[in-house]
């Protein structure tokens, strides 16, 4: 009985701390960590792109390359290092440690399931979703 109350309180506390992601904050994160490779318009043409071992992706076409659905979970996992991605002749810089936060945000995946992420990571992913073009 005590464990059930503890788990209920723990789940309620986790839910209360979840907030909405902020694309404006995500834009600031993009300008701090991403634009050098992905470009000012996120099209993969940043000043560092030509020095990379692989083509820097156009981040405005992520949904288009995924059948019209923004791949929220895949994008988050590539940024924070949970999914392997080659760049610079090795892994893409892993920004998970840089984008840690003290609050979790529940992002909705395309299948409707929630995915918890740090607030800065969620902000960046939501910002990238706003950049999608046909």
Please count the CA atoms within 13 angstroms of the CA of 122 that sit on its side-chain side.
Answer: 20
Parse the chain into domains and list their residue ranges: 2-130
- Using the predicted structure, report yes or no on whether residue 1 has a pLDDT greater than 60: no
Render pLDDT for 22-36 as a digit per residue (tens, 0 to 9). Answer: 999 999 999 999 999
Ranges 25-39, 79-93, 106-120: which has the least confidence: 79-93
pLDDT at 59: 97
Q: Class of the 2-130 domain?
A: mainly alpha
Assess contact for 48 and 110: CB atoms under 8 A: no
Render pLDDT for 50-64 as a digit per residue (tens, 0 to 9). Answer: 888 888 899 999 999
- Using the predicted structure, report yes or no on whether residue 84 has a pLDDT greater than 90: no
Going by pLDDT thresholds of 50, 70 and 90, the confidence category of residue 8 is: very low
**Of 42, 11, 13, residue with least CA distance to 125:** 42
Ranges 8-17, 36-45, 123-132: which has the least confidence: 8-17
């Amino acid at each position: 009985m005590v464990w059930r109350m503890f788990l209920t309180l723990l789940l309620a506390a986790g839910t209360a701390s979840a907030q909405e992601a902020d694309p404006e904050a995500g834009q600031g994160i993009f300008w701090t960590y991403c634009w050098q490779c992905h470009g000012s318009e996120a099209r993969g043409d940043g000043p560092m792109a030509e020095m990379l071992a692989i083509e820097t992706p156009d981040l405005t076409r992520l949904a288009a390359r995924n059948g019209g659905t923004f791949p929220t979970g895949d994008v988050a996992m590539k940024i924070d290092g949970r999914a392997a991605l080659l760049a610079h002749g090795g892994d893409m810089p892993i920004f998970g440690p840089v984008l840690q936060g003290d609050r979790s945000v529940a992002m909705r995946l395309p299948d409707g399931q929630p995915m918890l992420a740090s607030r800065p990571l969620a902000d960046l992913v939501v910002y990238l979703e706003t950049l999608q073009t046909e």
